[in-house]
């Protein structure tokens, strides 16, 4: 197969390929960028593989960075762009089920493609747009299949995270996992426990960003991967409720973790600990707890205007989407009316300052000033008092 036209990102990088080839080596565009272009999807990163060894690449280009030189990767800087150039390589000895103990540089593209995870990612394109397809990746793209390169079990023993990548690609591309690959995941799901939580976390969240996240998540449960993830042991029945929920767009990490926590019935400190176990950042943990509280309030028909204000309009929209996901009936009109009536957008809009409070109450600066400001802010938001200096000063005196 030959591409009718190279995508713009490839055309921009063609001088890189030409310089490598002029030096007597082979060079190809490889991996996800090739896959995504053939599928008509946007390209995110352009990766280049070459028969040139790292030191040879550094001799060809003036500006380089040793990004991962032990594993054959050198970043080349050219025309305000950066490109990762990786030497063809073979790998062996995966004692930690994640990283190879030994990397050997080779001159053969075929040997390099053999170590890739799935056939749809084992495609290469030369400078003329000719597609190199050694493992029927084009056919699998056409048939919407996620299929391991070679023996699936061997690929998952090399890197157990590939099992998570399988369900992530399934969700992202709306593909089906090929039979032998699927069976190998089920047989080797236990190896996922060998992988750092942070790495599993990354693939787990990306899975929910996919157009077919329900399918990917359902297979994540069905194939037993969930049993080797933090706090999911014995929770399949609860998690299935999420897999069977309505299909909405999951477009941020807070939405993903709130949905998962809610399906497990977690709130408060239990939710916080669950998120800690998954190595979720402090900021997202805080957002999840606020979002989960409002979700439960909405579930019980309680609309707290102060809580809405603290969350912000974006988060209210997120909660409304989660209500749709879990089929929770809410009065959107009433919520929107309350949002519209909030007199201020933030504390900066208050017609009184911390200095004013010090002058009015004749007190010294300290933490108490912040407490007074919060009380006044809440009074304005809940329309207990109007946002004028005189009314706020009078209200301050009776606090």
Residue 333's pLDDT band (cuts 50, 70, 90): confident
The dihedral over CA atoms of 112, 113, 118, 123, expressed in degrees to the nearest 10, equals 140
* Residue 98 pLDDT: 62
- Cα angle 382, 295, 350 (rounded to 5 degrees) comes to 25
Question: Residue 194: which pLDDT band, with cuts at 50, 70 and 90?
Answer: very high
89 among the known binding-site residues? no
Take residue 130 and report the two structure tokens written for it.
């000719």
At 326, the pLDDT band (50, 70, 90 cuts) reads: very high
Residue 293 confidence (pLDDT) above 70: yes
Q: What is the pLDDT of residues 244-289, one digit of tens each?
A: 999 999 989 999 999 999 999 999 999 999 999 999 999 999 999 9
Q: Binding site annotation covers 219?
A: no
Domains annotated on the chain, with CATH: 1-143 (3.30.460.10), 144-244 (1.10.110.30), 249-342 (1.20.58.560), 349-397 (1.10.246)
Q: How many CB atoms lie within 10 A of CB 347?
A: 13
Cβ(202)–Cβ(161) below 8 Å: no
- In three-state secondary structure terms, 29 is strand
Residue 199 labeled ligand binder: no
**276 labelled ligand-binding:** no
Which three-class secondary structure state does DSSP give residue 220? helix
Rounded to the nearest 10 degrees, the angle between the axes of helix 213-222 and helix 197-209 is: 140
32 assigned to a ligand binding site: yes
Find out whether 155 is annotated in a ligand binding site.
no
Distances (CA, A) of 169 to 58, 81, 224, 272, 329: 34, 27, 17, 29, 32
- pLDDT band for 96, please (50, 70, 90 cuts): low
Is 174 annotated in a binding site? The answer is no
* 168 is known to lie in a ligand binding site: yes
116 annotated to bind ligand: yes
């Amino acid at each position: 197969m030959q591409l009718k036209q190279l995508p713009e990102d490839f055309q921009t990088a063609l001088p890189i390929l030409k310089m490598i080839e002029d030096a007597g080596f082979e060079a190809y565009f490889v991996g996800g960028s090739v896959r995504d272009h053939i599928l008509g999807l946007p390209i995110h990163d352009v990766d280049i593989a070459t028969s040139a060894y790292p030191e040879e690449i550094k001799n060809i280009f003036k500006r380089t960075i040793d990004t991962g030189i032990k594993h054959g990767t050198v970043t080349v800087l050219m025309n305000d762009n950066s490109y990762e150039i990786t030497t063809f390589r073979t790998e062996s000895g995966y004692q930690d089920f994640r990283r190879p103990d030994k990397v050997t540089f080779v001159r053969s593209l075929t040997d390099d493609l053999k170590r890739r995870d799935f056939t749809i990612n084992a495609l290469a394109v030369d400078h003329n747009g000719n597609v190199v397809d050694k493992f029927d990746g084009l056919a699998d793209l056409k048939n919407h299949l996620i299929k391991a390169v070679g023996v699936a079990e061997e690929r998952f023993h090399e890197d157990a995270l590939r099992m998570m990548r399988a369900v992530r690609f399934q969700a992202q591309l709306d593909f089906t996992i090929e039979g032998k690959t699927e069976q190998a995941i089920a047989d080797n799901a236990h190896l996922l426990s060998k992988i750092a939580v942070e790495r599993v976390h990354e693939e787990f969240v990306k899975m929910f960003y996919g157009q077919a996240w329900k399918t990917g998540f359902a297979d994540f449960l069905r194939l037993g991967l969930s049993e080797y993830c933090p706090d999911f042991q014995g929770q399949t029945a609860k998690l299935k409720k999420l897999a069977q929920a309505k299909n909405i767009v999951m477009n941020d990490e807070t939405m993903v973790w709130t949905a998962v926590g809610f399906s497990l019935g977690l709130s408060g400190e239990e939710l916080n600990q669950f998120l800690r176990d998954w190595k979720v950042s402090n900021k997202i943990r805080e957002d999840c707890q606020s979002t989960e509280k409002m979700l439960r309030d909405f579930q019980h028909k309680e609309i707290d205007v102060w809580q809405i204000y603290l969350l912000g309009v974006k988060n209210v929209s997120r909660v409304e989407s989660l209500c749709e996901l879990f089929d929770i009936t809410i009065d959107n009109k009433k919520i929107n009316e309350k949002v519209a009536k909030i007199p201020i957008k933030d504390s900066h809009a208050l017609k009184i300052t911390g200095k004013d409070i010090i002058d009015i109450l004749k007190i010294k600066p300290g933490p108490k000033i912040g407490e007074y400001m919060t009380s006044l802010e809440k009074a304005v938001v809940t329309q207990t008092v109007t946002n004028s200096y005189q009314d706020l000063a009078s209200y301050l005196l009776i606090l």
